[in-house]
Amino acid sequence: MTNIAKALSRLREERREAQNEVQKLGEAIAVLEKLTRGQGASYTGGQRRAKRVLSAAGRRRISLAQKARWAKMRQMKKAA
């Protein structure tokens, strides 16, 4: 076998081991989640979303776009 073939086989073996480890971790998490849900008050119902913050520049762009839409509507009403 060449060095590349040996390296490939070793990498495949490591990937297989890593997948097994991930599966074991997933099972452990599932067991812990079941235990937590059973206690009622300690389970919060999942992760909460982080509050979304809009920058001043983003608010300004939105404001200008809305003002442009309103101006377009006023122009259409005047034309009609």
Give the pLDDT confidence of 46-67 residue by residue, as tens digits: 677 788 899 999 999 999 999 9
Domain that holds residue 34: 1-40
Phi, psi at 15, each rounded to 5°: -65, -45
Does residue 2 fall inside a structural domain?
Answer: yes
Identify the residue with better confidence: 55 or 1.
Answer: 55
Specify the number of domains making up the chain: 1
Q: Is pLDDT at 42 greater than 70 in this prediction? A: no
Does residue 11 fall inside a structural domain?
Answer: yes
Does residue 12 fall inside a structural domain?
Answer: yes
Does residue 57 fall inside a structural domain?
Answer: no
Identify the residue with better confidence: 40 or 64.
Answer: 64
Does residue 61 fall inside a structural domain?
Answer: no
